[in-house]
């Protein structure tokens, strides 16, 4: 809405997205380029739709206000209803009812990565409005985050793995191809494998069972140089157990392989 003239507001653009239920709330990134939003009822109304493998968060590119673009749909590891979300610096703080507070690293907005969570209602992860995280406040200078939980009360948290202000080291290109691991681990049904690249590369993911049999091969995907690149892996169709995964990076002057272990639980 253009509210320059308060007595005559004008609609600038109307945005829509797949499987609309109840567009609830959202927050801009600090540069006002992107808008991160949620739909409070989509997980409940479309709970049997295979699309909803987790709680959905919508990322919009608003560079052109006349033509907003849905950049991506992010799905969290747990499937619950979402409520209020806020952004501070390179992090988004999502209050997702029964799966608690989820913290996303959005330094690369096109590739959000969950880096921390606090489940205020660990007894269950239902698609329900009855319990869990309703809202949060991440704007204290100390870095403390408070989370209100509907039945459990107020939680005062001190994230230990976050840096609100980016340092020079954060923005340097990594010197080597390294594997950061996968999160969550154990997982069900999906996990995100994160890695660093010293140069642009085509990255292929191979997954093996403990007998060494190839169970999944993901075609090569092109990535630019940088830290915290990631690939999402879905264990749909696989049995519970431990799997070995290999990332093969083909760069201009070298090829490299890194391996990790992940556990799928049902």
pLDDT in tens, 165-208: 444 444 467 888 988 888 888 888 888 898 989 999 999 999 99
Distance CA 144, CA 146 (A): 7
Q: What local confidence, expressed as pLDDT, does residue 51 receive? A: 60
The residue-averaged pLDDT of 228-247 equals 91
Distance CA 218, CA 231 (A): 10
Q: Which single residue is written with the structure tokens 């992940």?
A: 262
* 30 vs 47, higher pLDDT: 30
Whether the per-residue pLDDT at 221 is higher than 60: the answer is: yes
Residue-wise pLDDT for 80-94, tens only, equals: 889 999 999 999 999
Quote the mean pLDDT of the chain.
87
Domains and CATH numbers, the chain: 23-157 (2.130.10.10), 172-264 (2.60.40.1220)
Whether the per-residue pLDDT at 57 is higher than 60: the answer is: yes
Q: What local confidence, expressed as pLDDT, does residue 17 receive? A: 84
**CB-based contact 76:94 (threshold 8 Å):** yes
The residue-averaged pLDDT of 37-53 equals 78
pLDDT classification of 264: cutoffs 50, 70, 90: very high
Residue 264 structure tokens:
């799928």
The overall pTM is greater than 0.85: no
- The half-sphere exposure of 34 on its side-chain side, counting CA atoms within 13 A, is 25
- Give the angle 189-72-32 at the CA atoms, nearest 5°: 130
Distance CA 249, CA 116 (A): 27
The residue-averaged pLDDT of 56-63 equals 91
Q: What local confidence, expressed as pLDDT, does residue 77 receive? A: 79
């Amino acid at each position: 809405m253009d509210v320059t003239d308060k007595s005559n507001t004008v609609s600038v653009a109307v945005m829509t997205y797949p499987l609309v239920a109840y567009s609830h709330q959202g927050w801009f990134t600090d540069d006002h380029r992107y808008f991160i939003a949620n739909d409070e009822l989509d997980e409940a109304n479309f709970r049997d739709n295979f699309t909803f493998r987790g709680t959905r968060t919508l990322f919009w590119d608003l560079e052109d206000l006349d033509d907003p673009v849905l950049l991506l749909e992010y799905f969290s590891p747990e499937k619950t209803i979402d409520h209020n979300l806020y952004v501070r610096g390179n992090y988004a703080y999502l209050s997702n009812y029964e799966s608690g507070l989820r913290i996303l690293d959005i330094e690369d907005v096109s590739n959000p990565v969950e880096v921390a969570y606090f489940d205020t209602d660990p007894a269950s992860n239902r698609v329900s409005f009855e319990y869990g995280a309703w809202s949060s406040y991440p704007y204290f200078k100390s870095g403390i985050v408070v989370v209100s939980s509907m039945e459990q009360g107020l939680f005062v948290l001190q994230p230990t793995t976050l840096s609100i202000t980016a340092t020079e080291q954060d923005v340097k290109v990594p010197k080597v191809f390294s594997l950061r691991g996968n999160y969550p681990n154990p997982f069900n049904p999906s996990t995100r494998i994160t890695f660093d690249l010293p140069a642009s590369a085509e990255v292929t993911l191979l997954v093996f069972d403990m007998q060494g049999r190839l169970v999944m091969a993901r075609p090569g995907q092109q990535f630019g140089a940088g830290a915290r690149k990631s690939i999402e892996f879905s264990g749909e169709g696989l049995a519970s157990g431990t799997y070995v995964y290999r990332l093969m990076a083909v760069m201009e002057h070298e090829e490299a392989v890194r391996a990790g272990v992940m556990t799928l639980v049902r």
